[in-house]
Structure 1
Amino acid sequence: MSSTATAKKLGKRFIGYPEEIVPVVTVKDWATQYAVDPKQRVVDYLVSLFPLFQWLPRYNLGWLTGDVIAGLTVGMVVVPQGMSYAQLATLPPEYGLYSSFVGVLIYCFFATSKDVSIGPVAVMSLTVAQVIKHVEHAHPKEWTGPTIATTLALITGFIVLGIGLLRIGWLVEFIPAPAVSGFMTGSAISIAAGQVPGLMGITGFEYVELLVKANHTRAATYKVIINTLKGLPRTKLDAAWGLPGLVALYGIRILCDYLGKRYPRRTRLFFFISVLRNAFVILVLTIAAWLYTRHRKNSAGKYPIKILQTVPAGLKHIGQPSVDSKLIAALGPELPVATIILLLEHIAISKSFGRLNGYKINPNQELIAIGVTNTVGSCFGAYPATGSFSRSALKSKSGVRTPAAGIVTAIVVIVALYGLTPAFFWIPTAGLSAVIIHAVADLVASPSQVYSFWRVSPLEFVIWAAAVLVTIFSSIENGIYTSIASSLVLLLIRLAHPRGSFLGKVTIRKGAAYSKETRDVFVPLSKNSVNPHVKISPLSPGVIAYRFEESYLYPNCSLVNDALVDYVREHTRRGKDMRNVKPSDRPWNDPGPGRSSGEEEALANEKLPRIHAIVLDFSQVSHIDTTAVQALIDTRREVEKWADHPVEFHFATILSPWIRRALTAGGFGLGTSSSPPDLAAVVPYRDGRSDITEQELEVSNDIESGDIKTINSSSEANSEFEPIIAEDTPFFHIDLLSAVRAAESGVGRFDAST
């Protein structure tokens, strides 16, 4: 009885019987999977823009307690950090508070992350400083630094908002973690090196302006370090505030970490003491600066150390941002790097905290959140803000429950803006430099993290090192471009040069050593992936198995073609005897052996097996394209030309019906095999019963082996058998084992027929 008749007799419809050829997938099927009610799609899209409607109706007192504690804690940190980062951006300190206020307030309405804290960050602040210098150099005295910074926030905010609204945030996924880590490490070193002169009161070189490709930029980091060492003899009194402040920041953190481990029950108390170290150190340094400098103002109106002096109270710069087309054109060359930093740092931080705390963020919605934050922030005089790693970690450890904690932080910032600005007058800038150095040091990758890059992928370690070195020896812009470009190049190399392996067979014993139950597994013949003492047996003579380790696409199909054809020519017999072929009749690229070696070559060729079948393991192939199918056709043509007879191509574990469709379009899988039909049967549970009778099991085994027996009426009534692979495509197999067995079983028939 044929498999078609059996399938019909068992009462199940099977695709391909009797007139269709599997796989039956059409363009309509492809379109149907994306067909969604347009109205429903619009509704879902609009609802997704405001994630707060999902958690706000369920808000409760327990959540409020955690949010208040976390919001107050972050507020204590963001105030001194905001002013410090504004100094780093070469802006008045109040602009850092503006960015902090708008960032934490607006973000909570659009956020999908409860942990991320938006505001001024070190890397973005340094980038803003470089953008300001670039524009001021090209257009001297035409725009002020704050005007340039707020316009930059507006333009980059619109760009990021557009990326989020168009749902193309997946582009960020092309930048791997080592590239981000390398860029952040190099930037942190650059920022810390640039703040050491301010910490020590050394002036005259820390912002050396060099004409580099028409850009007025800060000197490279290595030059800043060299000049800092040269300028140590010019250290001023500011170091008396900067160095003790930096030592105190580290001392408090180390002491609290030690005491937290020493007294586990009071870990939370020591955690909050450690959290308040920034505010405490700035407070002490400010009091000391006030006591020392209040009566030491010289005739020129200068104090013996650098202090912030007047910080305007309140939101003094609310209004429409400047939209000058000339200014936008001047910002054009700097927009790519500013935009990349804005979205890259934020997405990396939000995803990491989502994984850490067990929730999933929406990258596109996060881009919308920071896009709206910066666009609205430009109306408040804010400069570009994004996610802060240190403050986000602090917020997470403080027990934040929802994004509403940002509202509490905004209240703290606005209270500081309206009520504490007179005290800000006496804050020493050296103390702010200490805060910056202490904050950015956490961005430097730890040795264990760097070593893990090397262990996992040495090439990605090279990307990390390249990003760090370029950032230090060139600039932050070049560092981020290097990390992105090298990551994309590595991705293309991996796609264009896939790993593949020819397989051998290993018989393993299941269970105890004395067990008689065995099974065959297929591993690379190179032995790189198994115990070198394990014997790997080749497949039957004339059968070759090859495993792909990437999708089969146009960048890599020619390499796979070369690998298969070269292996066949090296390990199998040439079908046509070339000894009697005239040299003039030979192809130009196949001159053949010399007269003396012709006989030797013929004898060596006779010892090789004749190629019968090639088994291709598609278990890791998720896509195939037209070029790859054509390359596979060319491979078959070259192999059959070498063998001088038809060669079977068996395919195992095809993942997608579209791959089957593509292969059948290329003429693969169809025809008549010299091997028995590769049929399988499934015996599912019936009527809630899990037992299978011996008769049913026997029928199942017979169907799988291709020997279909007649079943009685009672079995026919209770049994449901459904073939997995149709007889129309006998060269497609459900797994590698069945593919190899089918190929090997046809070797004897092939030898007998030839």
Structure 2
Amino acid sequence: TTNIMNSSSVVVLDYEPVTLKNKTDKFKQNWGRYLSSYIFGFFPILQWITRYNTSWMLQDMIAGGTVGMVLVPQGIAYAKIANLDPQYGLYSSFAGACFYCLFGTSKDISIGPITVVSLLVGRAVTNVTTAHPEITGPEVAIFLSVLVGIITMLMGMIRLGILVDFIPAPAIAGFMTGSAITISLGQWGKLTGIKLDTHQAPYLVIGEFFSNLGGIHVDIAFGLTCLIALYVIKHFSAKLATRWPKFKQSLFYFGIMRNGTIVIIGTFISFCINVHNPTASAFKIIKSVPAGFDAIGVPNMSLNIMSEIGDVLPSIIIILVLEHISVAKAFGRVSDYTIDPNQEILAIGVTNLVGAFFGSYPGAGAFSRTAIMARSGAKTPLSSAFSAIIVVLALYVLTPAFYYIPEAALAAVVIHAVSDLISSPKYVKELYNTSKLEFLVFASAVLITIFDGIEDGIYTAVALSLIIMLFNLARPKVEVMARSPLDPTSKSTLPIPASNDFYSSSQHYIYFDEQDPHFQTQIEPLPPGVVVLRINNALLYPNSNYVTESIIATAKKRTRQGETEENKKELLWTQNLDASKNNHLPLLEAVVLDFSSVSRIDSTGLQMLSSAREQLDRYSSHAVEWHFTGIVNSQVRSDLLLFGFGTLEDSEGMASSSTSNSTLYASSCVSGTTAATKPSPKEEDSDKIQEVTFKDSPEVINQNSIIDNDNDDKELQLQEQKPEQQHMAESYYADPMDVENIIHSYYMEDTKFSQIIVDPHNYLPRDRHPCFHWDVDSAIRSLCERWSSRRPPPILLPPPTCSSSSNSSTTGSS
């Protein structure tokens, strides 16, 4: 047999509100633990360094060394984008790789120069050195690193990582795509040897390039050859790895080392050509690079620099934080670990601030290097320290060889690297098909970045994203709910209002948006006077007015106005004079709000709900019940109680206020069976109340009883059957159900006991307050049960004569 829970097993929901005093007391008791956790949280390395082992070290050495060999040519190339000497790119590469392992939470991130930030730093260097010739480019770049480090470090300390979540992926993809195109166009001059003004808008660079095609130099031989070779190696290393799996690892390392390989080959060819006359090269080479850390010192904090970089500083910070966090989260998901955005922002700040004393310019995690680190098998953040060792070796050992590196080869490396930042046609198509507004953000960011500048492209993408977010918040979808029975064959076919099937103790319903096309043929009317709506967002000050207006408009559209002397005397100038068209509609009795998607409600939202309640009370000429279902947040529940929702105190006089519109119905011979009266048990008959015992079947209880739902304990009670059966007709009272009160027999003709179906819905969790419910079906059932039990006793009439051909019923109205 199956055991059925008794009523004492029902979960009663009653959350104790957490006051400010409770929170303060808890903080006083645990402040020491909070402080120590906050401080030690700045050094994630302390959590795993004690478990470090030799196998991890081997993997970290391989991964870090591999990335280091990629980082050296990238650092040199990106420094040229920033209008700096090559060594400053190596300084930035060293600082990021060396200090990140102490503060970072990602094992794969490789901090160093990145293309977009390098371009912005280059523009800042040009602006400052043009306005103040006495200031050098490295001083500008180092000063930027100090400011970026301080600001991002403070952002991490006060936990502002949440700000990153306000910038959607299409905005990031848009200005990354535009920036990649801009950077590629800026390298065309170095790739071909044509002199171009790359500080102008990208579309102007294109025009200038084609107008100066006659100025192509021998650089194009190095540039195009290196660029083609990079793409060939990338394509065939991946293709051959799938064809020959046993060489997969070797081909992988050969593919990721393609940048260094091409630069080494190009440098060797350049050395062979220029070894006898290095000062008169036929093509551009980077020439001398000082060995070691030549720029170590205290940064020059000049106010003249500050006055010229104010417009570019926010862009640099936004890009650094967005790109770094996006890359860290992406590879954290791939490798199944979680990063801390706040700690990552702090790590960016520390590496840039400390790196400024080594001569570095702003840097962050780059996608290409991070992908190589992850594919190379890095185990801990310490892998980046091994990359720093490679950079140091390059600074002290390889600087003489750097002299002969062709600039065209570096331009090819840059163009090849930034091509991965351009969004694929597949992504653009998916974005367009998914959301036109997000596609607009993406397209705007790309076009403005190309035709105006990276800074304006970033600001436009961020601004449009925030506008769309606020619009979605201010205009949430408010769905008007309809219902369909789980058993469509039990749908009532009786006309409204002479229907008895709005509430059935054995019937359950699903609730959905009434515009949903899948249920249009199975919709069953709600109890008259009941309006059910679902709010699909938090109820906050930007959307509270819109939501409450939607509730009021829906209620007025589906119900008629109550008739009082005040309503008859006063008529608003906006009110329709012909109100007779709404006379067939019921009075508004209850508003049911599905709060399953409302995670938060503020004071403005509560005040607007209270105002809507007062307005609908005036409209209906009596107190309207407000019910809430699916409340997912205990704080929302407490706030609603604070504003008087959740109780029925305001609707006690509802029945008496609506009886003036009652309609008298008399009916007989319901479905060919007789009806029997079921008087409520009285206190003097309490000795006849018996306890329910469940039989073997989990679905049927055989007892001479009916269910009496008490508001306090909801216990099942029994009432003995009275022997007499009598025909009766009933007065129809215009109660909230507004249905014909037809009393069915609870008794079988051949047995003494009735069969009562055990309703599993009764065992759902219940709230302590009568207007808070587990779901919409629970709310509607609770309304119908309470309204049914509140009906006055029916008027008994002599039994009429039944005809085999038809059943007659008389209907009266008052």
Q: Same fold (TM over 0.5)?
A: yes
Q: Does residue 198 of structure 2 align to residue 221 of structure 1?
A: no
* CA-atom RMSD in angstroms: 3.0
Give the match for residue 630 of structure 2. Answer: 653
- Call closer, same or farther: CA 1:703–1:749 in 2, change over 3 Å: closer
Which structure has more relative contact order (CA 8 Å, sep 6+)? It is 1
Q: Does residue 98 of structure 2 align to residue 105 of structure 1?
A: yes
1:383 alignment partner, SS class: coil
Contact 1:14 1:723 in 2 (8 A): no
Q: Output the CA distance in 1 between the equivalents of 2:283 and 2:413.
A: 17
Q: 2:41 aligns with which of 48, 67, 71?
A: 48
The one-letter code sitting in structure 2 at the alignment partner of 1:259 is L
- Call closer, same or farther: CA 1:36–1:219 in 2, change over 3 Å: farther
Q: Could you list the per-position Cα deviations for residues 102-155 of structure 1 after superposition, in whole angstroms to 9, with x for gaps in the alignment?
A: 11111111110000000011011001001111212332x121001110111111
Contact 1:188 1:440 in 2 (8 A): yes
Q: Does residue 213 of structure 2 align to residue 206 of structure 1?
A: no
Contact 1:615 1:743 in 2 (8 A): no
TM-score norm. by structure 1 comes to 0.85
Q: Does residue 244 of structure 2 align to residue 252 of structure 1?
A: no
User: What is the 5 A alignment of 1:234-245?
Assistant: 234-245=215-226
1:434 Cα offset (Å):
0.2
The one-letter code sitting in structure 1 at the alignment partner of 2:239 is Y
Q: Could you list the per-position Cα deviations for residues 353-409 of structure 1 after superposition, in whole angstroms to 9, with x for gaps in the alignment?
A: 111111111111111211111111111111111111100001101111111111211
Q: Output the CA distance in 2 between the equivalents of 1:637 and 1:32.
A: 39
Q: 1:278 aligns with which of 255, 259, 262?
A: 259
Contact 1:542 1:747 in 2 (8 A): no
Q: Could you list the per-position Cα deviations for residues 203-240 of structure 1 after superposition, in whole angstroms to 9, with x for gaps in the alignment?
A: 0x332xxxxxxxxxx21122212222222232111000
Give the match for residue 571 of structure 1. Answer: 558
Q: Output the CA distance in 1 between the equivalents of 2:617 and 2:85.
A: 76
Give the match for residue 550 of structure 1. Answer: 537
TM-score norm. by structure 2 comes to 0.79
Contact 2:709 2:716 in 1 (8 A): no
Contact 1:508 1:519 in 2 (8 A): yes
Give the match for residue 374 of structure 1. Answer: 352
Give the match for residue 461 of structure 1. Answer: 439
User: What is the 5 A alignment of 1:691-706?
Assistant: none
1:310 alignment partner, SS class: coil
Give the match for residue 450 of structure 2. Answer: 472
Q: 2:646 aligns with which of 643, 649, 669?
A: 669
Q: Output the CA distance in 2 between the equivalents of 1:165 and 1:538.
A: 56
- Call closer, same or farther: CA 1:577–1:694 in 2, change over 3 Å: same
Give the match for residue 681 of structure 1. Answer: none
2:369 alignment partner, SS class: helix
The one-letter code sitting in structure 1 at the alignment partner of 2:308 is A
Q: 2:169 aligns with which of 174, 177, 188?
A: 177
Q: Output the CA distance in 2 between the equivalents of 1:607 and 1:66.
A: 79
The one-letter code sitting in structure 2 at the alignment partner of 1:206 is D
Q: Output the CA distance in 2 between the equivalents of 1:660 and 1:200.
A: 68
Contact 1:206 1:228 in 2 (8 A): no
- Call closer, same or farther: CA 1:536–1:97 in 2, change over 3 Å: same
1:607 alignment partner, SS class: coil
Give the match for residue 747 of structure 2. Answer: none
Q: Could you list the per-position Cα deviations for residues 642-667 of structure 1 after superposition, in whole angstroms to 9, with x for gaps in the alignment?
A: 22222111111122232222222222
Give the match for residue 520 of structure 1. Answer: 509
Q: Does residue 178 of structure 2 align to residue 186 of structure 1?
A: yes
Give the gaps of 5 or more residues in structure 1: 1-5, 17-21, 208-217, 511-516, 677-691, 712-720
Mean Cα deviation higher: 702-711 or 413-422: 702-711
Q: Output the CA distance in 1 between the equivalents of 2:519 and 2:410.
A: 59
The one-letter code sitting in structure 2 at the alignment partner of 1:94 is Q
Q: Output the CA distance in 1 between the equivalents of 2:157 and 2:716.
A: 61
1:158 Cα offset (Å):
0.9
Give the match for residue 293 of structure 1. Answer: 274
The one-letter code sitting in structure 2 at the alignment partner of 1:554 is Y
1:15 Cα offset (Å):
8.4
Q: Output the CA distance in 1 between the equivalents of 2:224 and 2:51.
A: 48
1:505 Cα offset (Å):
0.7
Q: Could you list the per-position Cα deviations for residues 621-658 of structure 1 after superposition, in whole angstroms to 9, with x for gaps in the alignment?
A: 11112211111122122222222222111111122232
1:196 Cα offset (Å):
1.4
Q: Output the CA distance in 2 between the equivalents of 1:378 and 1:166.
A: 22
Give the gaps of 5 or more residues in structure 2: 1-5, 489-505, 656-693, 719-761, 794-813
- Call closer, same or farther: CA 1:244–1:650 in 2, change over 3 Å: same
The one-letter code sitting in structure 1 at the alignment partner of 2:509 is D
Give the match for residue 168 of structure 1. Answer: 160
- Call closer, same or farther: CA 1:294–1:751 in 2, change over 3 Å: farther
Q: 2:214 aligns with which of 233, 236, 251?
A: 233
Q: Does residue 95 of structure 2 align to residue 78 of structure 1?
A: no
Question: What percent of counterpart residues are identical?
Answer: 39
Q: Does residue 350 of structure 2 align to residue 396 of structure 1?
A: no
1:166 Cα offset (Å):
1.8
1:34 Cα offset (Å):
5.7
Contact 1:612 1:747 in 2 (8 A): no
- Call closer, same or farther: CA 1:353–1:488 in 2, change over 3 Å: same
1:441 Cα offset (Å):
0.5
1:558 alignment partner, SS class: helix
1:519 Cα offset (Å):
4.2
Contact 1:318 1:381 in 2 (8 A): yes
The one-letter code sitting in structure 2 at the alignment partner of 1:138 is A
Q: Could you list the per-position Cα deviations for residues 523-567 of structure 1 after superposition, in whole angstroms to 9, with x for gaps in the alignment?
A: 10111xx53665333312211100000011111111111111111
Q: 2:289 aligns with which of 305, 311, 333?
A: 311
1:55 Cα offset (Å):
1.5
